[in-house]
């Protein structure tokens, strides 16, 4: 069991030089950080929405790696390896890490269609990153890996089908950042409505082995209003992934557990 948090990503950086180099690049690159900052200015400063900045990038990065790692341990082969785009689990995890960290940069332009915009903005950034962290890889292979990362960014849009295991991990991870008011449904700060009340009711999100499926997302809340976030965000995101059958979602309210996904399981 792990708690979804900004520090979860460190677990994977400690055991992979490739992932550490990529994460250090993303954290220190001026263009990346400017776009992430501007995304938050647009979301929080102008639209008065909840956080979409660097903390969200870190949270989704760690959650996506945790989910992908659990899927691999359950026997799921990363899609990029199936098609010889990547040559190792570590390289497949690089796709998830970069896609997760960069998935919201399109907000720097506009909230509308930000997933599509982000996939365009990320192209040159990813090229620079891969040249730095995978200098020995041939250009053709780096460009193919780049496209997998751009697919992961684009596929975070709720109604867009994620076509790879890596993109699926990023998409579900995006939906897990919902504790302590960090819900993925944008809600107006300071406004009292179903969106805000449901957001603040969620206290903790955990990723752990499931009872009937390999990966469980456990959402702890102090009242049932938090179910709105699960039903409106997390379930639709899982349903539009390549690995929907590998997940279960449990809501915890006090001592009671409600199985939310799959339905009626």
The model's pLDDT over 223-233, given as tens digits with 9 standing for 90+, comes to 888 898 899 88
Q: How high is the pLDDT of residue 35?
A: 98
- The number of beta carbons lying within 10 Å of the beta carbon of residue 264 is 5
Res 151 pLDDT > 50: yes
Res 7 pLDDT > 70: yes
CA separation (Å) from 50 to 55, 56, 91, 210, 250? 12, 10, 32, 30, 24
Percent of the chain with pLDDT over 90: 78
Q: Which three-class secondary structure state does DSSP give residue 3?
A: strand
Which tokens in the block code for residue 244? 């929907």
**What residue segments make up the domains of the chain, in order of their start?**
2-158, 176-261
Average pLDDT over residues 75-88: 97
Region of 254 on the Ramachandran plot (φ > 0 left; ψ -120 to 50 alpha; else beta): left
Q: How confident is the model at residue 110 (pLDDT cuts 50, 70, 90)?
A: very high
The stretches of 74-207 forming alpha helices (DSSP H) are: 79-82, 89-102, 114-133, 139-154, 165-176, 194-201
Average pLDDT over residues 61-84: 98
């Amino acid at each position: 069991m792990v708690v979804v948090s900004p520090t979860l990503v460190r677990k994977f950086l400690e055991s992979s030089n490739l992932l550490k180099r990529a994460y250090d690049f993303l954290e220190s690159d001026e263009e990346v950080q400017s776009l992430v900052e501007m995304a938050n200015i647009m979301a929080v400063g102008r639209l008065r929405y909840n956080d979409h900045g660097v903390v969200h990038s870190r949270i989704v990065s760690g959650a996506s790696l945790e989910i992908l790692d659990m899927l691999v341990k359950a026997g799921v082969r990363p899609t990029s390896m199936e098609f010889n785009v990547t040559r190792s689990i570590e390289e497949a995890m690089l796709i998830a890490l970069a896609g997760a960290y960069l998935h919201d940069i399109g907000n720097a332009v506009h909230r509308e269609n930000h997933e599509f915009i982000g996939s365009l903005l990320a192209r040159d950034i990813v090229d620079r990153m891969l040249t730095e962290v995978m200098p020995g890889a041939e250009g053709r292979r780096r460009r193919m890996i780049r496209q997998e990362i751009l697919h992961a960014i684009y596929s975070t849009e709720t109604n867009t089908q994620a076509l790879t295991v890596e993109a699926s991990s990023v998409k579900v991870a995006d939906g897990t950042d919902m504790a302590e008011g960090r819900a993925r449904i944008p809600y107006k700060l300071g406004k009292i409505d179903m969106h805000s009340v449901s957001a603040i009711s969620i206290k903790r999100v955990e990723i752990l082995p499931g009872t009937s499926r390999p990966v469980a997302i456990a959402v702890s809340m102090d009242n049932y209003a938090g179910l709105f976030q699960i039903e409106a965000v997390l379930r639709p995101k899982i349903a539009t992934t390549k690995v929907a059958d590998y997940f279960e979602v449990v809501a915890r309210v006090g001592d009671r557990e409600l199985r939310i996904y799959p339905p009626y399981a």
